[in-house]
């Protein structure tokens, strides 16, 4: 099942664009983590916010200078997900098979990474590079 995808560009980064465009929207919104989406739709019963892995990855890639070992751990875990996606794309796997493979291979990686991030969250100052990457 292919879901329709929409990329929308707005000149300003205030709430007016997303608020108007997504007023009647009910589904999944993938964002770059910009706080406007969370403030508008974070508690919405019919909208599920997801973040872009590339944006999350970039924070840790930039953080290698601050804490190389821990940043590289996160990057290696994310790389496992990228490799799985590449394999599924390469093999033209349909959505049913993708669902099975994601549950089998990606879900454990994401769950372990989520636990690791929760554990490490308070080990860093909030304004530090690693603190910001984890947040």
Q: Return the SS3 of 66.
A: coil
Q: Flag whether the pTM goes above 0.85.
A: no
Cα separation, 1 vs 107, whole angstroms: 20
Q: What are phi and psi of 50, to 5 degrees?
A: -125, 155
pLDDT for residue 7 is more than 70: yes
Q: Return the SS3 of 51.
A: strand
Task: Quick: pLDDT tens for 54-80.
Answer: 888 998 998 888 889 999 999 999 999
Task: Quick: pLDDT tens for 107-122.
Answer: 999 999 999 999 998 9
Q: Which residue has the tokens 């996606």?
A: 85
pLDDT of residue 2: 65
Helix (H) or strand (E) holding 98: helix 95-101
């Amino acid at each position: 099942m292919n879901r329709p995808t929409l990329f929308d560009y707005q000149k300003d980064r205030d709430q007016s664009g997303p608020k108007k465009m997504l007023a009647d929207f009910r589904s999944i919104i993938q964002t770059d983590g910009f706080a406007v989406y969370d403030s508008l739709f974070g508690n919405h019963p019919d909208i599920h916010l997801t973040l872009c892995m590339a944006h999350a990855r970039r924070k840790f890639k930039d953080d290698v200078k601050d804490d190389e070992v821990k940043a590289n751990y996160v990057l290696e875990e994310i790389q496992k997900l990228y490799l799985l996606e590449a394999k599924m794309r390469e093999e033209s796997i349909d959505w049913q098979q993708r669902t099975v493979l994601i549950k089998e291979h990606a879900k454990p990686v994401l769950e372990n990474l989520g636990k690791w991030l929760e554990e490490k969250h308070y080990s860093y100052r909030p304004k530090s590079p690693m603190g910001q990457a984890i947040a």
